[in-house]
Amino acid sequence: MKISVIGMGYVGLTTAVCLADIGNEVVGVDSNIEKIKQINNGVIPFFEPQLGEILNRNINNNLNFIDDIEKAIKDSDIMFITVGTPISETGEVDTSQIYEVVQSIGKYINGYKVIVTKSTVPIGMNNKIINILKNEIKVQHNFDVVSNPEFLREGSAVVDMFNMDRVVIGSNCKKAIEIVQEIYKPFDTKFLITGFETAEMIKYASNAFLATKISFINEIANLCEKVNADVLSVAMGMGMDRRIGTEFLKAGVGYGGSCFHKDINALVNISKMVNADLEIAATAERVNNNQRKKIVQKIEKILENDVRDKTATILGITFKANTDDIRCAPSIDIIKMLKEMKMRIKVYDPIVNKEQLKELGDIVFCKNVYESLEGTDVAIVLTEWDEFKNIDWEKAKKIMNQKIIIDGRNIYSLNEIKEIIKLGYKYNGVGRNIV
């Protein structure tokens, strides 16, 4: 079986590279020729642990990258669609890239093909794809469509690919289901076979549920601060109940990244169109936006409202550790709010470059932690990069203007916090009530 993967974002490239690594013949396609050149030189166009290594051990053997979609379609039996489906301001999913790929498939199809939709698409999209190909383009060749949503997390996409909890296969065609199952068999995972709409819904419902879990623990954290409880222990105690589970119960600055925000809003939008309002999902998103404001309120409170012209150091810009992605990152909103309060901003992130932050205007971009802490009034941890766990606060206190730490990710244990406080710092985490 020859596979093509169309769209070389983190999902597409990870899928292409890992499918090649388990022995398939794979071609990755993207219309961006610069990106293709870069990948062909063995370079990943974004930061994703382990991916470069696996790319380089497979490239040019059974793994190739081209910008010629016609060739990719003609030469493959199975096509994975992994193009982006961003969201508009009004919450609608922009499926134009999917439509473009489907038009190309309609134009170049030259025999039986299995079309696998991996991108997150609105409910009903896979049926629409069949309709377009059969009734609009009137393709003469046989084909089947399979909905196969992706669940990869940025920063651990390779680990997730080789340790999948499940593969969801939505299709009404036994032959296509068997073909896709055969591809995933070496990953030794569980399969769930459903119809199109159910598969599409599983993706949205999973992301909405995970986001809701985070917003729930963030609200509990805010309450913990008022009643003198510790949210880390609360989450641990809750998570020990197998019905709840320990994952996605880390309180902090709220979730970021392109997926949760995009998918929750798309789902809420879909629910409105069919008069089945999703109040919990909509509230999860509202709580998440408020969580960023809570951090800003903490900064104001700890600085006793004397914020004008004071310097804030932002430690960590990416929406989580081990990625270079800053889309919907809490840090971006928080910096904007602090700037509105006329604070001076210094930033340090181990991966992010100055160019990525140009829309923020006047901020001081620093090359290391200590440069960023020099002369600052408050250090604010917004990404849980390992590097921040090893900051020498003894050394830092000699260069900081005021000894204040806001830990938006709860990166320190209670014992470490005690040591930090002994050094004379004011420390404030999320849901920990220690000042």
Chain residues in the site for ligand UDX (CB under 6 A): 150-154, 207, 210, 214, 248-250, 252, 255-257, 259-260, 319-320
Helices (H), 228-322: 231-239, 258-273, 279-302
Distance CA 154, CA 161 (A): 11
Angle, helices 330-340/279-302, rounded to nearest 10 degrees: 50
When the beta carbons of 47 and 319 are compared against ligand UDX, the nearer one is 319
When the beta carbons of 30 and 384 are compared against ligand UDX, the nearer one is 384
Pull the structure tokens for residue 400. Answer: 């900081």
- Nearest approach in angstroms of CB 32 to ligand UDX is 21
When the beta carbons of 239 and 375 are compared against ligand UDX, the nearer one is 239
Distance CA 291, CA 216 (A): 11
- Nearest approach in angstroms of CB 152 to ligand UDX is 5
When the beta carbons of 129 and 208 are compared against ligand UDX, the nearer one is 208
Task: Establish whether 259 is a catalytic residue.
Answer: yes
- Nearest approach in angstroms of CB 275 to ligand UDX is 27
Contact 265, 91 (CB under 8 A): yes
Contact 124, 197 (CB under 8 A): yes
**DSSP state string for 99-139:** HHHHHHHHHH--S-EEEEE-S---TTHHHHHHHIIIIIS--
- Nearest approach in angstroms of CB 252 to ligand UDX is 5
- Nearest approach in angstroms of CB 255 to ligand UDX is 3
Chain-centre distance of CA 183, in angstroms?
Answer: 25
When the beta carbons of 337 and 341 are compared against ligand UDX, the nearer one is 337
Pull the structure tokens for residue 245. Answer: 């589970």
SS3 percent helix, strand, coil of the chain, rounded to 5, is 45, 15, 40
Phi, psi for 162 (deg, rounded to 5):
-85, -5
Catalytic hit among 18, 224, 259, 366? 259
Catalytic residues: 259
